[in-house]
Amino acid sequence: MKKNEQKLTHISELGEFGLIDHLTKHITIQNLSTIKGVGDDAAVFQYENDRLSLISCDMLIEGVHFNPTYTPLKHLGYKAAIVNFSDIYAMNGTPHQIVVGLAISAKYTLEAIEELYSGIILACKQYGVDFVGGDTTSTPSGMQISVTIVGSANKEDVVYRNGAKENDLICVSGNLGAAYAGLLILQREEQTFLANPQHQPDIQAFEYVLERQLKPEAGKKIIETLKEKGVKPTSMIDISDGLASELLHICKQSAKGCKIFEDKIPIDLQTYDVAEEFSIVPLTFALNGGEDYELLFTVDIEQYEVVKNIPGITIIGHITSEDIGKYIISEQGQAIEIKAQGWDALKKRNDTIR
């Protein structure tokens, strides 16, 4: 688990401006919309006339959203960027510029921060986003990352959470619960390692769910495919807190009810395996696990023939009138009310890492 011995650089040797210069010197600008990146009081950008601008921010806090014991910093940087890109795709937009606020304690070396930045920059490269600025500062303990993303969309393309109509189909991309399954495996490995530091982790069997936890991807392809097929969702949200919580957001903001079907919910085989090992119902992972960064959206029922043939999209139910309520129909045909027990970082929980 230990790296080869090498000279590590303390951040204090560089100071804030030295660090920023060092970290940003290799950043290149990819977007025509970026006019001025890192290096002034503000970054400057401009979208084409009539494009709407989108902005969103997400924080990742050490000890809450990540545990540095088992989170490689490059993955962490990648994830910090991805969770923000995901919010822009959830508006049916395209992310373009990112600003990164980073607060780091003295325990982190320059090499560690470089790892983190390399992950952010890799994500930016893969998704065509420009790293245009931020703030770097010290913090008494841990690490806090705050990422803000701006993007754009054509006025007629923007999709809000409040547009779901009765009888609309409820769709999800990919599969659900895998990221939470990955988290459970990581937490177990940490406990085993703490009990026996000689323990070599056996995690090959869980490679897929671990990747979903440590290096998630955002819904770029789904958004592009829907556009190609001429499907504009009536409402959309990204699944960061678990399917249940997100579905309730759409229902609340659209003033509608919903009915989804347990046997339609896409869950990967490896997620099933983990659920079995932990004696947890796999559905719980999908409904309440969180961090999947898949897209949950509704489409007009007239689009059924188109949507059902798009690979990577699953129709899991439909929107109802509000008075019917919000239900999941179990495999046995039982209607169970949907409640949010999602990834709510402010509620008291037993988990140490949420």
Q: What is the CA radius of gyration of the chain?
A: 21
| C-alpha torsion sign, points 297, 302, 303, 308 | positive
Nearest by Cα to 87 from 57, 109, 60: 57
| Sites for a second copy among residues 151-210 (CB under 8 A) | 151, 155, 158, 160-162
Q: Which lies closer to a second copy via its Cβ, residue 61 or residue 329?
A: 61
The 10 Å Cβ neighbour count of residue 160 is 17
Q: How far is the CB of 102 from a second copy (least distance, A)?
A: 8
Q: Does 345 bind a second copy (CB under 8 A)?
A: yes
Distance (Å, whole) CA 259 – CA 169: 10
Q: Does 139 bind a second copy (CB under 8 A)?
A: yes
Distance (Å, whole) CA 60 – CA 55: 17
Q: Does 330 bind a second copy (CB under 8 A)?
A: no
Q: Which lies closer to a second copy via its Cβ, residue 136 or residue 271?
A: 136
Q: Which member of 3, 25, 26, 348 binds a second copy (CB under 8 A)?
A: 348
* Tokens 């989804």, located at residue: 260
Q: Which member of 24, 71, 94, 136 binds a second copy (CB under 8 A)?
A: 136
| Sites for a second copy among residues 277-316 (CB under 8 A) | none
Q: Does 128 bind a second copy (CB under 8 A)?
A: no
Q: How far is the CB of 307 from a second copy (least distance, A)?
A: 21
Window 62-101: contact mask with a second copy (x via CB under 8 A):
xxxx--------------------xxx-xx-x---x-xxx
| Sites for a second copy among residues 216-235 (CB under 8 A) | none
DSSP structure class, residue 157: G
**Which residues make Cβ contacts (< 8 Å) with residue 282, sequence separation at least 6?**
177, 267, 271, 272, 275, 276
* Tokens 């982190």, located at residue: 108
Q: Which member of 9, 67, 118, 142 binds a second copy (CB under 8 A)?
A: 142
